Amino acid sequence: MSAGKEAADKAFARGAYPHLLDGARTVDKDSTLDAIAEALSFPDYFGKNLDALYDCLTDLSWLPPGEHVLIWAGSSGLRERDPKAYLAVRSVLSDAQRALGPSGDRTDSRRLTVVLPD
């Protein structure tokens, strides 16, 4: 079983909504933003930059209430190809996860968990 599938099964088992991000598609910053937007069904107004990524990740109002788990299997590909882009995207994901966490400033009926299984 792939690491992404295993993480998705674990999320589903605890009642969370898994969203799989295909690491094979994350070859640079733009393709990674597109893949995240697709995985989480971002609205059309997503601005395709890091600020807009944070804004959408800390909103998620178009998704059902509950925990949403973004599973980025294969993130090492971007880390190897473009370490700067990887660190920038990873930083936004961490900040958004913290903001939507139990003690975060964006807490509502939706939570974000980011899993990098590899």
Q: Which domain holds residue 29?
A: 3-115
For position 83, which CATH number holds? Answer: 3.30.370.10
Pairing of strands 66-73, 110-115: parallel
- Quote the pTM value: 0.90
Number of domain units in the chain: 1
pLDDT, tens only, 66-108: 999 999 999 999 999 999 999 999 999 999 999 987 666 555 6
What are the pLDDT digits (tens) for 20-60? 998 888 999 999 999 999 999 999 999 999 999 999 999 99
The set of residues, in sequence order, having a beta carbon less than 8 Å from that of 7 and lying 6+ positions away, is 18, 69, 71, 73, 115, 117
